[in-house]
Amino acid sequence: MKKYKKASEIRVGVIGYGGAFNMGRGHLKEMEKAGMTPVAVCEVDAERLKVAETDFPGIQTYSTVAEMLRKSGVNLITIITPHNTHAKLALQCLKAGRHVVCEKPLAITTAECDAMIAAAKKSGVVLSTYHNRHWDGCILSAIDHIKKNKRIGEIVRVEARMGERSQPGDWWRGSRSISGGILYDWGVHLLEYGLQLIDSEVVEVSGFAKSGYWAPKTKWKKDTIEDEASATIRFRDGVWMQLTISAIDSNKQPGTLEITGTEGSYITDIHGYNSGYQLRSRNGQSLTLEEGRHRPDEWHCFYQNIADHLTKGTKLVITPEWSRRPIHIIDLAVQSAKQGRALAAKYR
């Protein structure tokens, strides 16, 4: 893999600009803060390209990926497009010898992830996923309390949940074929949290899903994401994790993450919802309740790590193999729900 003398030599670009959260601009700004140099934007919407030119005077703009790869000197490309396009676009860029970061999820299927990993290795380039929430204050605090300080003893189970009764929207995230399904949005983040806490390999996954309630009411009809889906993940060391994402739950439970240990429970909400935690433990009949605030988010660490990896050889935190893990779990959960049985995990 080519090393750069300094971060400013890394010429960066994005595929996809704007949208509901103006994500293209956000990614380029974060890469710029890490010392890298924005040089290119690829976007099918001509109006968004005009916005990019205003945000980054002098930046090169392209309407196709092929043109950007052919004409620009971009070294690192971040893909910010609907989930079902990630694999195709990443493979195109990887085979052209460009480093690639995908917005999460890395892809929709395990097979797509494996093809992307193989292409990156063959071209000798970096492949990563924008798991900025790896550095969310809520999980950083949980790691401090649970892994470093052993405040709840040995982890027994991790429960992750999100959602309440809400009809899926008519944008692309409401489409199962485009988004992958209800588990692929927040589910990827919540699984990534759990994988930071559980130091063990996944053995098997059981999936459960309910579909058909919201479908007649959306423009996607039969292609609408599930009303609710759940995955139960068994780890080799005996720990298990339960993930549930719902659009029909009328009794939303407090806490996005609940980690149960042999000596206590840790309940926390994620950034942007209620940035605090509860730590509950019992001594006989006496309940001890501790409440606190999360550490600050450290999202800047993602692109700083990418820049340091490419210039100093610093160990890559979000490797493609790491990014593959939550996708493999969700992929198995979707298949398991259809087949009505648990499925064994296969890790590289």
Q: Tell me the CATH number at 64.
A: 3.40.50.720
**CA-to-CA distance for 300 and 297, rounded, in angstroms?**
9
CATH of residue 252's domain is 3.30.360.10
**Phi–psi pair at 150, nearest 5 degrees:** 55, 40
In this structure, the answer to whether residues 292 and 309 fall within a common structural domain is no
Tokens at residue 91, please?
């493979």
> Is the same domain home to 63 and 124?
yes
Q: Residue 282's pLDDT is what?
A: 84
* Nearest-5° Cα angle at 57, 312 to 129: 40
Q: Is 339 contained in some domain?
A: no
Strands 99-103 and 228-235: unpaired
Low-confidence ranges of the chain (pLDDT < 70): 19-21, 271-274, 348
Q: Exposure string (b/e) for 17-41, b if CB count within 10 Å is 16 or more?
A: bbbeeebbbebbebbbebbbbbbbb
Residues 287 and 143 in one domain: yes
Helix axes of 186-197 and 320-339: crossing angle, nearest 10 degrees: 110
- Is the residue at 343 inside a domain? no
Q: What pLDDT digit, counting tens, does each position of 255-289 carry? A: 899 999 999 999 998 755 557 999 999 887 888 99
Q: How many domains does the chain have?
A: 2
Domain assignment present for 13: yes
| Residue 330 domain-assigned (yes or no) | no
Give residue 1's pLDDT.
75
Per-residue pLDDT reduced to its tens digit, 80-101: 999 999 999 999 999 999 999 9
b vs e for 59-68, b when ≥16 Cβ sit within 10 Å of the residue's Cβ? Answer: bbbbeebeeb
List the one residue out of 211, 214, 224, 246 whose CA is nearest residue 179: 224
**Mapping DSSP to helix (H, G, I), strand (E, B) and coil, where does residue 275 land?**
coil
φ and ψ at 180, to 5 degrees? 100, -30
d(CA 119, CA 112) in angstroms, rounded, equals: 11
**Other beta carbons less than 10 A from residue 232's beta carbon:** 18
Q: How many CB atoms lie within 10 A of CB 289?
A: 8
Q: Residues 125, 25: one domain?
A: yes
Q: Provide the sign of the torsion angle of the four alpha carbons 311, 312, 318, 324, taken in this order.
A: positive
Examine the fold and report which residue of 297, 326, 343 is the final residue of a domain before the chain moves on: 297
Q: By C-alpha distance, which of 283, 264, 287 is closest to 156?
A: 264
pLDDT of the residue at 269? 87
Cα dihedral 42/87/173/140 (nearest 10): -100
User: What per-residue confidence (pLDDT) applies to 140?
Assistant: 95
Give me the pLDDT at residue 20, please. 58
pLDDT of residue 21: 67
pLDDT for 177 equals: 97
Is 168 contained in some domain? yes
In this structure, are strands 155-162 and 257-261 parallel, antiparallel, or unpaired? antiparallel
Check whether residue 169 and residue 279 sit in a common domain.
yes
Distance CA 26, CA 17 (A): 9
Reported as half-sphere exposure (CB side, CA atoms, 13 A), residue 310 has a value of 28
- Same domain? 146 vs 79: no
Structural contact between residues 279 and 290, judged by C-beta atoms closer than 8 angstroms: yes
CA–CA distance, 115 with 335 (Å, rounded to integer):
19
Domain annotation covers residue 345: no
If asked whether residues 124 and 19 sit together in one domain, one would say yes
Is the same domain home to 176 and 283? yes
Same-domain pairing of 168 and 206: yes
* 102 strand-pairing partners: 79, 129
Q: Give the per-residue pLDDT at 19.
A: 63
Whether residue 46 is found in the same domain as residue 116: yes
Examine residue 333 and state whether it is found in any structural domain, yes or no: no
- Note whether 173 and 117 are same-domain residues: no
The answer to the question of residue 191 being in a domain is yes
DSSP label at 16? S
Contact indicator for 321, 120 with CB cutoff of 8 Å:
no
Task: Give the structural domain span for 282.
Answer: 138-297
Domain match, 14 and 38 both: yes
Residues in the chain, overall count: 348
